[in-house]
Amino acid sequence: MAKDQKIVLTADRPTGKLHLGHFVGSIQNRIKLQDESYRSFYMIADVQGLTDNADNPQKIRDSVIEVALDNLACGLDPKKTIMFIQSEIPEIAELTVFFLNLVTLARLKRNPTVKDEMKQKGFGENVPTGFLCYPVSQSADILFAKANLIPVGDDQLPVLEQANEIVDTFNRFYGETFDHIKNLVGDTPRLMGIDGNVKMSKSLNNAIYLSDTKEEISKKVMNMYTDPNHIHVEDKGKIEGNVVFTYLDIFDPDKKEVTELKKKYQQGGLGDVVIKKRLIEILENIISPIRDKRQELSKDRDAIMKILEDGTQKAREIAKETMVEVKKAMKINYF
Ligand code: TRP
């Protein structure tokens, strides 16, 4: 394989259905890249999902099929992308154990992604060790497949940086084995939540899901944060921090019209309901084909599991090859 050939790998934690933030952050890129790359992987990160849900295995189990459905409905194609389940590849766990020797506790605690998430979840010193170490296992997720291009949301960049440090240390200790990985952040690296929070997230309860009905979308858009001082139609409105305009900028294909609407809104004379109705139509146009395909695919859950089983088998073969190389490099190839 030529060194510059793209091997793409992405993953979702199966902790619930996926939302528009996932769509613009990484799903769109993974769909595009499956046509352009030498090899493409999509992993359902159930082991990582368990790092902060150890007490709720049913949630993880139920979400595996949901995230698979979301991705297939968006256009991920199992003929082009190897779709697999993390826990079914024991080599990832094995590689994680070896990588743990290459990373210090201080470095993990300094990782900005881990730090933010620990704060958000209120873990403090009582953080589960598996959670603290997830950047290490995420490095194994990527490197077992020798993936070199990783589409992610921008919150994941520090994790990928740490993966490259693991590559450097591994190569220094045991000889050139892994190449550096590159990230690919979507056009919208971070989508604002419907409440105006900087990040759309299930746990913040501010998400629009790829499976939402038109009624759900309408309700959420109608409740969107706009400008609290824009009370009457004739009032001058603010664009900054206004979720409806933030979304129109991202999702409305008619950029010229958005510029006009912004002008009108700022001058006064444009009501929230008008722009909200416009946004509902635009989001419905994006989500309805996904929702319909999802609905269709969900009728045959066995077929989805079969896709994952076949993909897992392929990924496992690749994992075994990598581990032969890794163990040889580490001088733990005994028999
Ligand atoms: N941590 C990622 C997220 O929360 C999911 C993930 C797990 C991942 N393993 C990965 C992403 C490997 C890219 C590559 O979105």
Taking only the tens place, the pLDDT of each residue in 315-329 is: 999 999 999 999 999
Q: Is the CB of 141 under 6 A from ligand 1?
A: yes
Among 138, 157, 190, the mutation site with the greatest number of ligand 1 atoms within 8 A of its Cβ is: 138
What integer pLDDT is reported at residue 3 of this predicted model? 60
Closest C-alpha among 185, 87, 182 to residue 141: 87
CA distance 104 to 300: 46
Q: What contacts 311, CB < 8 A, 6 or more positions away?
A: 42, 78, 81, 82, 83, 84
Nearest to 209 by CA among 286, 142, 112, 149: 286
User: Token pair 């003929």 is at which residue?
Assistant: 79
pLDDT tens digits along 99-138: 999 999 999 999 999 999 999 899 989 999 999 999 999 9
pTM for the full model? 0.94
Instruction: Give 150's contacts (C-beta < 8 A, 6+ positions apart).
Output: 8, 9, 10, 142, 156, 160, 181, 182, 183, 184
Q: Is the CB of 11 under 6 A from ligand 1?
A: yes
- Please give the average per-residue pLDDT across 6-14, as a whole number: 96
Average pLDDT over residues 73-95: 98
How many angstroms does the Cα of residue 45 sit away from the middle of ligand 1?
A: 7
Region 263-274: mean pLDDT is 95
Ligand 1 centre distance from Cα of residue 170 (Å): 21
Tell me what the mean pLDDT of segment 235-247 comes to: 95
Determine if ligand 1 sits within 6 Å of the CB of residue 156.
yes
Residue 10 Cβ < 6 Å to ligand 1: yes
**Percent of the chain clearing pLDDT 90 (strictly above):** 92
In this predicted structure, what is the pLDDT of residue 203? 84
